[in-house]
A and B are shown apart, each in its own frame.
Chain A
Amino acid sequence: MVSQRRLVAFLVFLTMVSLVGLAAAQEPTEVRIGVYEPMTGAMAAGGQMTWEGIELAHEQRPEVLGLPVRLILVDNRSDKVESATAVTRLVQKDKVHAIIGSYGSALSMSGGPVAQTAKVPVMGCSPTNPLVTVGNDYYFRACFIDPFQGRVMAQFAFEKLGAKTAAIIQDVAQDYSVGLANFFREAFIELTGDPKAIVGFTSYQTGDRDFTAQLTYVANAKPDVVFAPGYYADAAVLVTQARSLGLNMPFLGGDTLEAPEFIEIGGKDVEGVYFSTHYSADAPITPASEEFVALYKSKFDKAPNTFAALGYDCYMLVLDAIEKAGVVDPKAIRDAIAETKDFVGATGIITLDANGDATKSAVVLVVKDGQFKLVDVVHPL
């Protein structure tokens, strides 16, 4: 009799526990936003800068729909395989409602399909390769894409630097670099009207440290400018070696050069390197830009960078979308993000097109006296 009563009590207890569990599943007590970024490895600087911006935004706005927002950071270690694993972890173990990431187009491209299968929306901060969002209706981004960026740099080389010929050194292991190199090539040939304007085209792989053979080949081709769209550490070492081999022409790159390490490693050798990026604190675009700059300076006591600004924007954009969706449900959040129109971010006004890409202006910076200085602002066509 006693044991029967105990059994009944136990069953009632079990039912209650499972009911509580169900209730918890239906009415979330928090909003979980996963972040996957390269915190270590070849792209660590980019991931860490982005994370600074996301954290800053989180401090500004720690709640949405009356629920606390919890950020869950997973390091993808600058590795394509780890990147897919990181997203799997976020959707399966942490059951996040939305994801932000990742610096590095290749890392985003390997994480993307996982999120798409799990039907969790991802907001990319700075992956610029067009293929990141193509065919993936769950991937969005707050930045411009590389056909535009390649054109900006080709135009800059042709119009501002008066270059008639160029050589390209791409990082063959990075979709970002390969894509950008090709877009630059197409735009530069079109601008100069000379199909032979690209006098040299060669490659290296992420992490290579000896570029002397490639640079000797480039020196022999005698281009007016060299376009080397690699990641900051590789690019800094490359430019250093170029100078020691006596190559004195201007070197150009893409947004991945914007990292303090580029100047630290390159020292005076990288003076005069031009690159395009998303945003400069010297050219605030919106009221949100100024607000962001002030916040960033008060927290980190240094000048903000593009990637922190993009991280900040992505977080704010996702929170806006959650508010618009009104429910904490990945599918509803996805639909709300897709409808983003005229969102006022620190890096500009963001309107997402059918692909989930933003159309924004680019800035061209130069390394001068150990700092990034604004040279030009290029608006989209």
Chain B
Amino acid sequence: MTLEIFLQNVANGITLGSLYALLAIGYTMVYGILRLINFAHGEIFMISTYFAFYGIGIFTLPWQISFIMAIVLTALLGVVIERASYRPLRDAPRISALISAIGVSFLIANLGLVIFGGRPKTFYRPPLFQIPIQLGTIRVVALFFIIPILTLLLLVILNYIVYRTKIGLAMRAAQWDFDVAKLMGVDVDRAISVTFALGSALAAIGGIMWGLRFVEINPNMGLFPGLKCFIAAVFGGIGNIDGAVLGGFLLGFGEIMLVAFLPGLAGYRDAFAFVLLILTLLLRPTGLLGEKQRVRT
């Protein structure tokens, strides 16, 4: 493999990894506070692409406004899902909330199938993102740069919210000890709503980037990216935001490099992700950046 080919694959890996990272953050944030794997996260991601699609397609909004609307609506959807399906189960055994999450996931995916139809739709691609860029022998389009830069920017903003604002403090307090935080007068419900809003907004940004990059959207598209990004979150250390981003990057990178170095094994790419999950759970259950979990009842 020549250096140019390797560098081209590095660019490929960074772009894919950034997309995974955007989704992995949502899993990790919710898990951090509620100790809940939000299996509906992949479907929230799917819905966001349809919000953007219909914003442009039916309401003929300019794409900038449509994308922002999609992000806001998806954030609201995340909050509504939490209110309707997780909050009533907060005092129930944790497995109940998990099953509720799986139910919500199926519900949204099948609603999508009924409302949007089973045939794929084509996502609008503003020419701005498609400007070809030639760097020596490496050829990419502008989107290759926009996605990773956006991901890192969002990571900085998120870190600021979590560590420098009052609501961030409430979120961390709830993560540390739910009941004590409540006793101290922290509005835990609000902290959780904000968590869901932020996680879903990031899923929406990931969804829009996904649509811009891969053009085709369909109601089942949430399933595999959802699983992959869950793996990325576990690999990076679930509950840790930086870990989710790192896990996403490494998973995307690993997938690309597997195909690059062993093109004959390209069909086993998904298996690679799952093997990574199994190895993480066996060798380092807390993930790369995860701390030892405190057991809560």
| Chain A residues in the interface with B (C-beta under 8 A) | 39-42, 44-45, 48, 172-173, 200-205, 207-210, 212-214, 216-217, 219-220, 233, 236-237, 240, 244-246, 261, 264-265, 267
Contact A216 B270 (CB under 8 A): no
Q: Which residues of B contact A40 (CB under 8 A)?
A: 113, 118, 219-220
**Complex contact A244–B130 (CB within 8 A):** yes
Is B177 part of the binding interface, using a Cβ–Cβ cutoff of 8 Å? no
Contact indicator A261/B120 (Cβ below 8 Å) = yes
Given the known A-B contacts A233-B120, A244-B140, are A204 and B267 also in contact in the complex, defined by CB atoms under 8 Å?
Answer: yes
Q: In the complex, which of the residues B118, B130, B256, B264 contacts A212, with contact meaning CB atoms closer than 8 Å?
A: B256
In the complex, the answer to whether A203 meets B267 with C-beta atoms within 8 Å is yes
* Inter-subunit contact B216/A214 (CB<8 Å): no
A46 and B218 alpha carbons, distance in the complex (Å) = 15
Bound CA span A47–B140, Å: 36
User: At the interface, yes or no: B215 with Cβ under 8 Å from chain A?
Assistant: yes
Given contacts A41-B118, A237-B215, A265-B215, contact A200 B267 (CB under 8 A): no
Nearest-Cβ distance from residue A315 to partner chain B, whole angstroms: 22
Considering the complex, give the chain B residue whose CB is closest to the CB of A244: B141
Q: Which residues of A contact B100 (CB under 8 A)?
A: none
Bound-complex Cα distance A173 to B270 (A): 12
Q: Which of B5, B255, B257, B266 lies in contact with A203, CB distance below 8 A? A: B266
CB distance from B231 to the nearest CB of A (A): 15
Of all A-B residue pairs in the complex, the 4 with the closest CB atoms, nearest first, are A40-B118, A172-B267, A213-B259, A212-B12
Chain B residues with CB under 8 Å of A204's CB are: 266-267, 269
- B132 proximity list for chain A (CB < 8 A): 244, 246
Scoring B119, B122, B210, B266 by chain A CB atoms within 10 A of each residue's CB, the highest score goes to B119
Chain B residues closer than 8 Å to A209, beta-carbon distance: 210, 213-214, 216
Inter-chain CA distance A205–B273, complex, in Å, is: 14
A-chain residues with CB within 8 Å of residue B229 when the two chains form the complex: none
Chain A residue with the shortest CB-CB distance to B225: A209
Given contacts A204-B266, A212-B16, A214-B266, contact A265 B259 (CB under 8 A): no
Interface residues of B (CB under 8 A from A): 1-2, 5, 8-9, 12, 15-16, 113, 117-120, 122, 130, 132, 134, 139-141, 210, 213-216, 218-220, 224, 255-260, 263-264, 266-267, 269-270
A202-B264, A209-B213, A261-B120 known; 6 new pairs, CB 8 Å cut-off, are A44-B119, A213-B257, A214-B266, A220-B5, A236-B216, A246-B134
User: Which residues of B are found within 8 Å of A173, using beta-carbon distances?
Assistant: 267
> With A214-B266, A245-B139 given, is the CB distance from A237 to B214 under 8 Å?
yes
B118 touching A39, Cβ below 8 Å? yes
Question: If the complex has contacts A217-B259, A244-B130, are A205 and B270 also in contact, measured as CB distance less than 8 A?
Answer: yes
Chain B hits for A261, CB < 8 A: 119-120, 122, 216
Contact of B216 among A172, A217, A265 (CB under 8 A): A265
Interchain nearest-CB distance for B166 vs A (Å): 39
The answer for the CA separation of A45 and B259 in the assembled complex, in Å, is 29
Q: Are A200 and B215 in contact (CB under 8 A)?
A: no
A-B contact pairs, 17 of them (CB 8 A): A45-B120, A172-B267, A202-B263, A202-B266, A204-B267, A213-B257, A213-B266, A214-B263, A216-B5, A216-B12, A236-B216, A237-B216, A244-B139, A244-B140, A261-B119, A261-B120, A265-B216
Which residue from B5, B9, B113, B120 sits with its C-beta under 8 Å from A265? B120
State whether B119 touches A48 (Cβ < 8 A).
yes
Cα A172 to Cα B15 in complex, Å, equals 24
| Chain A residues with CB below 8 A from B117, complex form | 44
> Which residues on A sit within 8 Å (CB–CB) of B12?
210, 212-213, 216
- Residues on A with C-beta less than 8 A from B119 are 44-45, 48, 261
Contact B214 A216 (CB under 8 A): no
State the CA gap A233–B221 with chains docked (Å): 12
With contacts A214-B263, A236-B215, A244-B141 taken as known, whether A205 is within 8 angstroms of B269 at the C-beta atoms is yes
B90 to chain A, nearest CB (A): 35
The interface residues of chain B lying within 8 Å CB-to-CB of A212 are: 9, 12, 15-16, 256
Q: How far is the CA of A229 from the CA of B120 in the complex (A)?
A: 19
Q: With a CB–CB cut-off of 8 A, which chain B residues contact A213?
A: 9, 12, 255-260, 266
